[in-house]
Amino acid sequence: MRQALRHLAVSTHGIGLVEITGEVTRWVAAQGIVSGLLTLFCRHTSASLLIQENADPDVRTDLLGFFRRIVPEGAGYVHDTEGPDDMPAHIRSALTQTQLSIPVEDGRPMLGTWQGIYLFEHRAAPHRREVVLHLLGEPPA
């Protein structure tokens, strides 16, 4: 049994989904683990992680619109220390997830054909986010 750990820095441009599938897949392949479990953890309370369709950009557009409708800015939140987008960002993060677990087979995350891994930035300003990757599994026999 082997394990590997990496801190992945992700730059965002404000509210939106940043695909990190390629970088994650390349890192997993380089670890020499053929079968195991990949865990991704977002170290923030106003950003989250999603596995979502990566073929049609309209999916990302609709997701952003949905979250703006169900968690609008200016809805009378008490917490507004860091601006009007701060509390909605925390709520959006609470409604999604900050950790993903993905099986690994043949040295690759077992994503479906149209699935991609995304960091979901919930704040309006650009940020530098950190995602921790932990891979646990078996090297080749």
Q: What CATH number is associated with residue 32?
A: 2.60.120.460
Q: What does the DSSP 8-state code read for residue 98?
A: S
Query: CA angle at residue 91 from 16 to 128, to 5 degrees?
Result: 40
What's the number of domains the chain is made of?
1
| Radius of gyration, CA atoms only, the chain | 16
Structural domain boundaries enclosing 42: 2-138
Residues 6+ away with beta carbon under 8 Å from 33: 2, 4, 104, 107, 135, 136, 137, 138, 139
Residue by residue, pLDDT tens for the chain (141 residues) are 999 999 999 999 999 999 999 999 999 999 999 999 999 999 999 999 999 999 999 999 999 999 999 999 989 999 988 999 999 999 999 999 999 999 999 999 999 999 999 999 999 999 999 999 999 999 998
